[in-house]
């Protein structure tokens, strides 16, 4: 049985509408703050595909109004499930822009768990967008994506993650950390036991725990804007700490 849902998010960004448009309506822009790799066309009917770990989720652009609005929708499955996202841009004075996001569609039998996962996940991605526009705007990153199912409960996961960063699970926004490679960073988002975001001089690093009802998956979503490919290093880190 399918269930309808709607989710709304909003964030004020220190950027022009043109900068925000480039970040949400182009593949390189999306790669700079979202997950995986995005392919976005430049007109209604074009592709809006997301590729992670060799799998591509296909979608289509359903609205394309440069500088103001872009919307996408996945194909409808046999049981009626689909996801649609609309981004609305509103320029404000003083070099700021408000971005509004509306996500809706039909979810499956486990719709409550799926909905809560999306609701919990969006804030760190939108904050990552804010950090990208503040510190790395216009730069294209090398992207690292890694998943480890069955990584453990939240206490275990966050003890390992924060320990690797030289802090404790009581970490808060603004705390100084150090990545396993020695890079100095600062926490830009902390919502444990769900997610943690770190910014260094080279990039943005996200650690997300999906929860027991989603298989205790640890998700890494990193962007390095200095051109360093860090996939192998983070794969090795996961193997070392989570088997």
Span 103-112, average pLDDT: 85
Q: Could you read off the pLDDT of 184-224 as tens digits, one per residue?
A: 999 999 999 999 999 999 999 999 998 755 678 999 999 99
More reliable by pLDDT, 120 or 10 = 10
Q: Which of 55-64, 65-74, 82-91, 209-218 has the lowest mean pLDDT?
A: 209-218
21: which residues sit within 8 A by CB, 6+ positions away?
66, 67, 70, 89
Q: Where in the chain is the domain with CATH 3.30.530.20?
A: 3-135, 142-242
* C-alpha to C-alpha distance for 17 and 66, rounded to whole angstroms: 10
* pLDDT tens-place string over residues 45-61: 999 999 988 899 999 99
Give pLDDT, residue 227. Answer: 92
Res 214: pLDDT: 63
181: pLDDT strictly greater than 60: yes
Q: How does the average pLDDT of the chain come out, rounded?
A: 94
Its CATH architecture, for the domain 3-135, is: 2-Layer Sandwich (3.30)
Chain-centre distance for alpha carbon 141: 14
pLDDT at 213: 59
CATH classification of 142-242 is 3.30.530.20, yes or no? yes
**pLDDT tier, 74 (very low <50, low <70, confident <90, very high otherwise):** very high
Q: Look at the pTM and tell me if it is higher than 0.85.
A: yes
Q: Which long-range contacts (CB under 8 A, 24 or more apart) does 17-20 make?
A: 17/67, 17/68, 17/89, 17/90, 17/91, 17/97, 18/67, 19/97, 19/133, 19/137, 19/138, 20/89, 20/97, 20/99, 20/133
SS3 letters across the chain: CCEEEEEEEEEEECCCHHHHHHHHCCHHHHHCCCCCEEEECCCCCCEEEEEECCEEECCEEEEEECCCEEEEECCCCCCCCEEEEEEEEEEECCCEEEEEEEEEEEECCCHHHHHHHHHHHHHHHHHHHHHHHHHCCCCCCEEEEEEECCCCCHHHHHHHHHHHCCCCCCCCCCCEEECCCCCEEEEEEEECCCEEEEEECCEEEEEEECCHHHCCCEEEEEEECCCCCCHHHHHHHHHHHHC
pLDDT at 212: 57
């Amino acid at each position: 049985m399918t269930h309808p849902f709607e989710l709304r998010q909003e964030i004020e960004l220190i950027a022009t509408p043109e900068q925000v448009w480039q970040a949400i309506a182009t593949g390189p822009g999306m790669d700079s703050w979202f997950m995986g790799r995005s392919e976005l066309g430049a007109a209604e009917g074009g592709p809006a595909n997301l590729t992670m770990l060799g799998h591509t989720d296909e979608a289509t652009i359903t609205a394309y109004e440069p500088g103001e609005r872009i919307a996408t929708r996945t194909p409808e499955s046999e049981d009626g499930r689909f996801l649609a996202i609309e981004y609305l841009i509103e320029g404000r004075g003083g070099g700021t822009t408000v971005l509004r996001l509306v996500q809706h569609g039909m979810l499956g039998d486990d719709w409550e768990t799926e909905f809560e996962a999306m609701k919990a996940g969006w804030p760190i991605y939108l904050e990552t967008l804010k950090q990208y526009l503040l510190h790395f705007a216009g730069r294209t990153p090398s992207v690292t994506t890694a998943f480890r199912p069955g990584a453990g409960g939240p206490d275990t996961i966050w003890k390992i993650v924060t320990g690797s960063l030289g802090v404790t699970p009581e970490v808060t926004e603004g705390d100084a950390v150090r990545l396993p490679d020695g890079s100095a960073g600062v926490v830009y988002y902390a919502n444990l036991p769900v997610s943690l975001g770190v910014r260094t001089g080279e990039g943005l690093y996200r650690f997300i725990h999906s929860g027991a009802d989603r298989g205790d998956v640890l998700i890494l979503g990193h962007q390095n804007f200095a051109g360093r490919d860090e996939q192998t290093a983070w794969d090795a880190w996961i193997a070392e700490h989570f088997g």
